[in-house]
Homo-oligomer: A and B are copies of this chain.
């Protein structure tokens, strides 16, 4: 009740009364490689879970918010200022999720069109992209399997009612590129004509590049109109996953 809440507030003045919480920002970074949705994982070098694959992440520092920590970690992973999409996913706070101490993890989802093959710099630690279909979530460290499941569902759901799909492709892109994003993330196939109609009838989803065409493939084929991301954030009406 309210009174208890205020008692808790009083106790806030005495830091010794609190358990030592550590707060981390963990990242589920997705990209598209060879038409497959991939997730960035790093191999742990220390106990617990030494040798296991885990989500990249690190501790939130005293001067920064969890959002800032996530963006910093992302820049450290990729070696450059991250320009893609980053959003908070959820917070995982089970008391036993880390056997060493009390760690609360604020998890994030990031999307990027394409990133260097080996993420991270000259560091010896192993990091690689895993196609989500060949990954073994059950073997991930901590509760990261749970986080990855939530992250995948978030990404899949957000393609329905936001323009997030454009964050998976480099500009400029074709309608076909965008279609391949939906097909890879949802594991479905689209009728090209219907997908095209849907995308182009949504104002602000994509904007065409004047006189911009991409040459056909090596085996021939008509050149395709090129597009850039529009300024719309939401899709109305949404593009729903098939039942």
A46 touches B10 (CB 8 A): yes
A183 contacts which chain B residues (CB < 8 A)? Answer: none
Complex alpha-carbon distance, A77 and B88, angstroms: 28
Complex alpha-carbon distance, A169 and B30, angstroms: 40
Kindly state the interface size class of chain A when it binds its partner. Answer: 35 or more
What number of copies of this chain does the assembly contain? 2
The answer to whether residues A125 and B2 also contact, given A62-B95, A101-B15, A237-B240 and a CB cut-off of 8 A, is: yes
Which residues of chain A from 57 to 107 have a CB within 8 Å of any chain B CB? 57-67, 73, 76-77, 79, 88, 90-91, 93-95, 98, 100-104, 106
The one of B2, B90, B102, B127 in contact with A88, judged by C-beta atoms closer than 8 angstroms, is B90
The one of B44, B63, B94 in contact with A95, judged by C-beta atoms closer than 8 angstroms, is B63
How far does the Cβ of A34 sit from chain B's closest Cβ, in whole Å? 23
A18 touches B18 (CB 8 A): no
A106 touches B127 (CB 8 A): no
Complex alpha-carbon distance, A59 and B238, angstroms: 39
The answer to whether residues A12 and B22 also contact, given A93-B60, A236-B243, A243-B236 and a CB cut-off of 8 A, is: yes
B1 touches A125 (CB 8 A): yes
| Nearest neighbor of A18 in chain B, beta-carbon distance | B22
A123 contacts which chain B residues (CB < 8 A)? Answer: 1-4
Complex alpha-carbon distance, A59 and B11, angstroms: 9
A8 contacts which chain B residues (CB < 8 A)? Answer: 24, 58-59
Q: Does A9 contact B (CB under 8 A)?
A: yes
| Nearest neighbor of A19 in chain B, beta-carbon distance | B62
Q: Does A5 contact B (CB under 8 A)?
A: yes
- Chain A: residues with CB nearer than 8 A to chain B? 1-6, 8-13, 15, 18-24, 42-46, 56-67, 73, 76-77, 79, 88, 90-91, 93-95, 98, 100-104, 106, 119-121, 123-127, 236-238, 240, 243
